[in-house]
Homo-oligomer: A and B are copies of this chain.
């Protein structure tokens, strides 16, 4: 049917019949080469420096390239690609990558992602991608079940936690507007949103993008382990209602990105019920911990929420990107997002066949993200995933114990799989001096390339922060980390 040219044809001036197709043989030859490159990337992931030495100006200089007008072979592009990227890659799957909430990616998910690109399904709606739509709806039901949300798996896979949180906030605001007169009289000027001061920045950003005033995003205080203060939440809600404002959404966290704090979900749910306010739970990082016995209790809170976000590209080990938002009420999201246009008219009348994801979210074209989640869940099984989550939490506890046993290490709090601590040389008491040595310590450790951590600041104390969302991390990596912090810290203290 179509012309099938070998890749060499890319060098020739394109002819009327030219195509970007590869012959089946050429596709296999080039593809097998790509797999070998990916295998090398996997080796480098474990063995290369976690973070390479580099600089902005040197990197930019490599990328100062003219627009390519003429084609070349794929092999030539691969060669240049390797030159450009080498020395500029952070190895997020390295067993001692401890920064942010960065996960190692399951190779099974990588293979599924490659198949996804080849299938190139556009998961707008059932009639555009019947199997892909049903697989996404199945995966959503499974994710709902995994964390104990207790709904029907109504929701969406998204590009990540920020998009998932934005979808939750959008639905909450639409719901609040419905209660106050319907979609045609939406006023966001008097709407308010509540999150703890440890809540993820994507929540405040979602509120801002949705037209809420920055000063209507209430930053509720936290207790000594950085969980939302429910009394303060209640008092703030009451104050706002008395002032004639419309509380639209409470955003609780099930595992903050900063310290892993889990807000008192059940108490917050009760408050939301009393004030008739939407409860969104940001479980982007922590929600899958509900798969473990230790954190199964979170499910009771999830089961009281109106929406929940969780990121398969974090603790379910999918490659970037795939986040997820689950809603309790499909009708709300339809009212929030459905808009019609003649070129997307759904002609089907059957309930399954007329389903359109774009009636329930912002995106029209959507990548077939469900495939990698389905492939990971079915190949690994939920028990093996839960075991690794539990092991990650166990490794954090091992780190806690090591810190407790080292007089020069001070714990600044540990929850879920995040541990915050710092190095305090014997006898040092000056706060600034202690902060400064920890800043130097993290800079040196990251530069040496065997460990990658990101810092945070807790009550003015500069903190080393270790987050473990990684199937490669072992006890030996924790030992290595502690020994390195002590070695580098002692060296700096004695300098």
Contact = CB atoms under 8 A, between A and B. Distances in A.
A128 to B, nearest CB: 6
Contacts of A116: 113
Interface string A361-388: 0111111100110110111111110011
A469 to B, nearest CB: 12
A73 interface: yes
A130 interface: yes
Interface string A92-117: 11010000101011111111011111
Contact of A368 (B106, B320, B323, B457): B320
A145 interface: yes
Interface residues of A, number: 181
A332 to B, nearest CB: 14
A464 interface: no
Contacts of A211: 173, 186, 188, 210-212
Interface stretch (A132-140, A229-237, A264-272, A424-432): A132-140
Contacts of A323: 365
Contacts of A114: 34-35, 38, 110, 113-114, 117
B379 A215 contact: no
Query: Max chain B CB contacts within 10 Å: which of A20, A76, A115, A345?
Result: A20
A149 interface: no
B72 A131 contact: no
Interface stretch (A79-87, A297-305, A482-490): A79-87
A17 B311 CA distance: 24
B108 A74 contact: yes
Interface stretch (A158-166, A238-246, A409-417): A158-166
A374 B55 CA distance: 22
Interface in A380-402: 380-384, 387-388, 391
Contact of A138 (B43, B65, B113, B352): B65
A80 B374 CA distance: 11
Contacts of A443: 347
A59 interface: yes
B1 A471 contact: no
Nearest to A68: B378
> How many copies of the polypeptide does the oligomer hold?
2
A320 B365 contact: yes
Contacts of A465: 343
Contact of A31 (B39, B189, B363, B384): B39
Contact of A364 (B21, B32, B161): B161
Contact of A35 (B28, B42, B43): B28
Contacts of A444: none
Contacts of A215: 184
A120 B362 contact: no
A102 to B, nearest CB: 6
Interface in A418-472: 443, 454-458, 465, 471-472
B388 A18 contact: yes
A225 interface: no
A235 B105 CA distance: 55
Contact of A1 (B16, B34, B472): B472
Nearest to A442: B347
Contact of A208 (B20, B63, B65, B339): B339
Contact of A365 (B161, B173, B258): B161
Nearest to A73: B379
Contact of A472 (B14, B19, B146, B350): B19
Contacts of A38: 27, 31, 114-115, 118
Query: Max chain B CB contacts within 10 Å: which of A73, A343, A454?
Result: A343
A145 B69 CA distance: 12
Contact of A343 (B55, B454, B473): B454
B10 A380 contact: yes
A210 B213 contact: no
B84 A47 contact: no
B201 A213 contact: no
25 contacts: A16-B391, A18-B388, A20-B106, A20-B108, A24-B39, A27-B107, A30-B111, A31-B38, A31-B39, A59-B130, A59-B134, A63-B138, A67-B377, A72-B378, A89-B130, A89-B132, A90-B128, A92-B122, A102-B122, A159-B367, A162-B364, A189-B189, A206-B362, A313-B365, A345-B457
Given A90-B128, A183-B214, 10 more contacts: A27-B35, A34-B114, A71-B383, A88-B134, A92-B121, A110-B120, A159-B366, A160-B363, A258-B343, A345-B456
